[in-house]
Structure 1
């Protein structure tokens, strides 16, 4: 599966700082100091109802991670999946009376278009669940053969007790885990499971649903968590730098994925930091497919909204915060974009070195994008009030905003 084209990242004078970021597993800020190649896995979409503002906020956060690393002169090995077969996708296809593969292809194409418009840097590897099945099956067999998985009426489940570190990502108690498991794709009430929290690794073929050859597992399709584990281990290996996604993935998805990988390899941890973006709401509720209260990037683009303004609307909120999309949020972003473009349209202006360093410092400090915006706002206000004599400073600021925040002025 192909990703989307990369926008050019301008080179800046000097060098960025190592990233300090909040790790869900420890509950603290950690300083990441990867080697020459930083490794990041971000969980992708299930391709229906793409791309809503919650998606955009999540991928904006991890785009900033990449940009901070690139500014330190590192390379970035970024991997993202597409869950192009799963119950919610099949249910939507059935509801709309469309072929599930056609729906997945259409929504994935729309997601690519939105990511391109928003200048999100693409992953090096963009892998669909279906194309990953040949690598998933052997992992499930290994877990089964090691006693870390078991069969139940043809389905194969992972035993959470096989990983002594289970619970170390989300730190939830059993009651909370059981509740979230039921809400987020699990089946804690299924009779016969060794532990209600045990997640499915391989679902035996159901009538009327797609299935693939699972070798000794029989025909079926993969569970949600093992999909990401297979892709991450194949392309990044254990101990990669960041596992990322929305905060609703901390449990069960990232918790279960970590346990799958740790049971498979005997190594710990799967990722050095588990980083989660906050939820975006609308009209007082979390924006979600199930509620139908979605604001789509593509719809805003069709209305003529500049993608740079959408990006600024996202950047105005700290990535870990839960926030609400409103018309005023967008109006503020459009006005900011106009101010910034006016400020960089002159041949000279106030010195740029300080603002570039302020942006770097803000983003290296747990991706504090609101502070980075404030730094550019102050420079733009000086430009409007009194201008400056530093020839080329507007160009430096423009390149910094592009390189570090993905906003083209």
Structure 2
């Protein structure tokens, strides 16, 4: 599966700072030192309704991670999946009378268009669940053969008791896990399971649903969590730097994925940091497909909204915060974009050397994009009030905003 084209990232003078990021597993900030190649895996969409502002906010956060790392002169090995076969996708296809593959292909194509418009840096590897199946099957077989998985009426379940580190990613107790499992695709009430929290690794073929040859597992399709594990292990290996996604993925998805990988390899941890973006709401509720309260990037673009303004709206809120999308949030972003463009359009201005370092420091400090925007606001205000004599300043500000914030002025 192909990703989307990369926008050029301007080089800035000097060198950026190492990233200090909030790690869900430890509950505090850690400083990451990835070495010459930073490795990140971000969970992708289930392509049946893309791309709403919740998606955009999540991918914006991890785009900032890439930009901070690139500014430290590192390479970035970024991997993202597409869950192009799963219950929600199949249910939507049945509801709308569509072929599930056509639905997935159409929504994935739209997602690519939105990511391109928002200038999100693409992953090096963009892998669909379906194309990953040949690598998933042997992992499930290994878990079963090692006693870390079991058969229940043809379905294969992972035994969470096989991983002594289970629970360390989310830090939740068993009761909270059980409630979230029921809400987020699990089946804790199914009779016959060894532990109510055990997730499915391989779904035996059902009438009317797609299935693939699972060798000794029988015909079927992969469970949700093992998909990401197979892709991450194949392209990044154990101990990669960041496992990323929305905060609703901490449990069960990232918890289960870590346990799958740790049981498979005997190594710990799966990722050095588990980083989660907050939820975006609308009209007092989390923006979600199930509620239908969605604001789509593509719809805003069709209405003539500049994608740079959409990106500035996302950047105006800290990535870990839960926040509400409103018309005013977008209006403020449109106005900010106009001010910045006016400021950099002049032939000279106040020195921007300090601004570069302010933006770097803000983003290195747990991706504090509101602080980064405030620094650019101060330069733009000084430009408007006093101007300056540095002929290189407007260009340096433009390159800084482009390289570190992904906004083209």
TM over 0.5: yes
Per-residue displacement from partner, 1:369-403 (whole Å, max 9, x unpaired)?
Answer: 00000000000000000100011100000000000
Aligned partner of residue 210 in structure 2, secondary structure: coil
Aligned residues: 409
Is the aligned partner of 1:234 residue 2:230? no
Provide the C-alpha distance between the structure 2 equivalents of 1:374 and 1:171, rounded to a whole number of angstroms. Answer: 34
Report the Cα distance in structure 2 between the residues aligned to 1:64 and 1:358, rounded to whole angstroms.
Answer: 15
Offset of 1:48 from its aligned partner? 1.1
SS state at 1:384 partner: helix
C-alpha deviation, 1:62, in angstroms: 0.1
User: Matches of 1:28 and 1:171 in 2, distance apart?
Assistant: 13
Partner of 2:339: 339
1:10-409 superposed matches below 5 A: 10-409=10-409
Deviations 1:281-329 (A, max 9, x none): 0000000000000000000000000000000000000000000000000
Q: Which runs of 5+ in 1 are unaligned?
A: none
- CA deviation digits over 1:34-62, x for unaligned, max 9? 11000000000000110000000000000
Secondary structure at 2:358 match in 1: helix
* Deviation per residue, 1:341-367 (Å, 9 max, x gap): 000001110001000100000000000
The 1-side partners of 2:214 and 2:407 are apart by 45
Separation (CA, whole Å) in 2 of partners of 1:342 and 1:249:
40
Q: CA RMSD in A?
A: 0.2
Match of 1:73, SS state, is: coil
Distance apart, 1:215 and its partner CA: 0.2
Q: Tell me, what secondary structure is at the counterpart of 2:48?
A: coil
SS, match of residue 394 in structure 1? helix
- SS of corresponding position for 1:203: strand
TM-score (norm 1): 1.00
- Rounded to whole Å, the distance in 1 between the matches of 2:378 and 2:233 is 44
Write the distance in 1 (CA, Å) between the matches of 2:312 and 2:408: 10
Runs of 4+ in 1 over 6 A off after TM superposition: none
Distance 1:376 1:336 in 2: 10
